[in-house]
Each structure stands twice: as C-alpha cells, then as structure tokens.
Amino acid sequence: MRHDEQVRLIKQLCAQLDSGTTVDAGGVIRMSAMAYTDLVIAEQEWQEFFVGMPHCIGLSGDLPELGSFITNNDLGIPILATRDQDGSFKAFVNSCRHRGVIVETQERGTTRRFTCPFHAWSYDTSGALVGLPKPEHFGDVDTSCLGLLPLQAEERHGLLFVHPDPKGTIDLDFLLGEWFNDEFSTWRFDRLIPLAHDSYDVASNWKLALDTFGETYHFPVLHKNTLNNGFHGNVQCYDEDGHLHRMILCKRAIDQIRLSPEEEWDIRFAGLPVYWLFPNIILMPFEAGVYLVRTYPDRANPGRHLSRINFYVSPDIDQTNPGIKEYLDFQTQGFAGVIRDEDYVMGASQQTTANAAAIPFILFGRNEPALHHYHQTFRKMLGQEPLKYLSINE
C-alpha cells in the first residue's frame, strides 16, 4: 500500500478515536436468515460463485521450487497444481486418464512424476502422460492426447488462481479490479513462505464465517479477553469499489504510533488491513506476513462449511529466534484459536436459529458496512433484489 494512503488511513482511525465516531453505512439493513439455509440459494451460489469462477488456492510460496505441487478438493473437482520445470504455475484435473483414479493424493510435496496408484500411468509436472506399463498389452492409444486435463491457472501478485471448470477462463483484471491489482503489487505476497495452516469443519453457512470478519463492533464483547487487548473495537476504515472492499481494523499500538513522525507510520503496526476477495476469501497482511482465510460451502448442506486458514511469513524472519518464534506462535495459534473458539462458535449459534427460522430477519448496523457489502454483492450477482434499509417503525 502506498505510504500516502497508509497515512490517510491512520489519520482516519485517529480521528474516529478522538471524536468517538466510527464508519457509517448510512442506515440499518435487514436480511432474512434464509440466506444461510435455503437450498436453492445455496445451489445458485455453488454454481455461480464456486464452480463458475476462478479461485485463489494459495500463495506462490506454496509452490516454492520446480516440481512442487499442491492438491485441492474444495471446489467440487479434484485439482492438482504444480510448479512446472520452467517455473510456470500449472493446474490440472487430478484424475487419471486411464480410469479416473485420483493421481496425487498428498496435500503437497515435490516430484518430477505423478504416478497413478491403480496401474501406474505416470504424468510429469506439465501434465503430460509420460509412461504406462506394458503399452503393447494395453493397446494403441495416442499418449499425447491423454495428459491430465488442464485447468486455467494464473499467478499474480504472489496469489495462485485456478478455474475449477476446464472450460472456464480467468480475468484477474476484473476479479481484482484496478484497486487490488495496484495495492496487492506493493505487499510482495510472492516472497512469503508458508508457516502454518489449519482447517475447521463448522456447523455454519460459509457466509456466516465471512460475516465474522466484517466488523469490530463485537471485539469488546466476544473478544474481551483476546483481540480486544490488541485492538480498539468498533473503530475501522472501510472502502469499497464494485465487488471489492477493504477494512482497516485499529490496533491499540496506534496510540504510540501517532506520536511518531508520519514518515515512519506503517499501517500494519497501526492497524490490520482486511481485504475481501469475492466471493470467499479474506486476506490480512500483518507485520510479519499475511493471513489467508478461505470459506467453502458444503454443497449438500447450507448449514455447514469448511474454513481454511493459512499463515505465511516473510523469509527475512528468523524463525529460530525464541522470541520471534513465540511471537509467531501467538500470531498463528492465538489467532486461529480466536476464530475457532470465539467467532465460529457465534456462527454455529446463528446457524441454529437460522435453521429454526427463529426470528423474521437479522440486522446489519450502520457500523457494519462490510456486512452490507457482502450481502448486497452476493444478491446482485445472483439477480436478487437489494436489501432495504430498515425504517424506524418496522
């Protein structure tokens, strides 16, 4: 992020702290909790937002060397992504061209060949079929046409994007927009290396998980003994453009930082940038690296989802230093624990009442603009009516 933008945002946070104000979405909106339970909506979302769009499946650091690979089964089709021998990023349908067995079953690793466990057809990192046992017995086939089915794959700003539909195309100029394309280019996500990851199967809709990242109104309450120690709750910057938004949460360290010269201000120390990548990704650059959160629906059950949380850090950080290690453990385990034990517990609770249609609608306050934006954007993309402001006598 450019330094003048960092200064602007830090001043905005200070102004809110000084005046006791916060962001204002202009009104309160209401939404039926059916958005979290309805099977028809869930299937539309699955088709439009998940199998119908390119997705970020990790960072460049997940494929650090020639022959590195990762697999992904979150998007309805088994995906094998590789760092090919020329350094390029490639992705394939992870299904053997003989009789369809999943070729690579490990989550990640490095290899020159992927060998199918059924009859040992083997493929290289460019997806080409490079060998099969007893070809004279198997019969005549054109091996040049029987490589792993390619998927569109593109690496930009250190993010790995794959389209799960073999016929799909990737348009990152649209997906990231001018704003994120410009701002992400400054974060150097491409340098980061994986530090830790965790995943949670949660009894809540995938959007309820996203919702928990969309406001800090709850920090002094739900996180009173955890995040509230490090953040000023209910203080934030919020900007949006089309299907993109960015929040800046306010760290308590801002109280000291604002006393230092402006040239030294760094938004990662004064705040926590939270980028929403439509539809299901939260990216949060922090002092040492970035948090990547992805939420995936359970296609068969709108009341369940899988959250994946990955932590990446700068290679300049000395992870052998005990003090730094303690700090990183706090950033990873501590952060993941808050999400798992505090935020997602609220999500599951909301899902319980949504399943029971317990209340006629839920509310998103003036101080929760990111929640307005998530849901208005989802609805717009699905051709639904926008949510209305609540009038005072409703």
The Cα–Cα gap between 163 and 170 comes to: 7
The least CB distance from residue 117 to ligand FES, in Å, is 7
Q: What are the residues facing 162 on neighbouring strands? A: 55, 153
Strand segments (E) across the chain: 29-31, 55-59, 68-72, 79-83, 89-93, 108-110, 113-115, 122-124, 129-131, 150-151, 153-156, 159-162, 193-202, 231-241, 244-251, 271-277, 281-286, 289-298, 301-313, 362-364
The Cα–Cα gap between 266 and 115 comes to: 48
If binding is defined by CB under 6 A, does position 113 make contact with ligand FES? no
Q: Which of residues 22-81 bind Fe ion (CB under 5 A)?
A: none
Residue 45 binds: one of Fe ion, ligand FES, none (C-beta under 5 to 8 A by kind): none
If binding is defined by CB under 6 A, does position 108 make contact with ligand FES? no
The Cα–Cα gap between 119 and 110 comes to: 21
Q: Contacting ligand FES (CB under 6 A), which of 36, 89, 121, 364?
A: 121
If binding is defined by CB under 5 A, does position 368 make contact with Fe ion? no
If binding is defined by CB under 6 A, does position 98 make contact with ligand FES? yes
Q: Which is nearer to Fe ion, 225 or 393 (CB)?
A: 225
For Fe ion, which stretch binds (CB under 5 A), given 34-42, 201-209, 251-259, 342-350?
342-350
Q: Which is nearer to ligand FES, 120 or 357 (CB)?
A: 120
The Cα–Cα gap between 264 and 325 comes to: 25
Residue 343 binds: one of Fe ion, ligand FES, none (C-beta under 5 to 8 A by kind): Fe ion
Q: Contacting ligand FES (CB under 6 A), which of 7, 17, 51, 101?
A: 101
The amino acid that residue 196 corresponds to is A
Residue 387 binds: one of Fe ion, ligand FES, none (C-beta under 5 to 8 A by kind): none
The amino acid that residue 119 corresponds to is H
Q: Contacting ligand FES (CB under 6 A), which of 2, 8, 99, 252?
A: 99
If binding is defined by CB under 5 A, does position 343 make contact with Fe ion? yes
Q: Which is nearer to ligand FES, 132 or 293 (CB)?
A: 132
Residue 99 binds: one of ligand FES, Fe ion, none (C-beta under 5 to 8 A by kind): ligand FES
Query: Which letter, b or e, does each residue of 103-122 get, where b requires 16 or more Cβ atoms within 10 Å of its Cβ?
Result: bbeeebeeeeebbbeeeebb
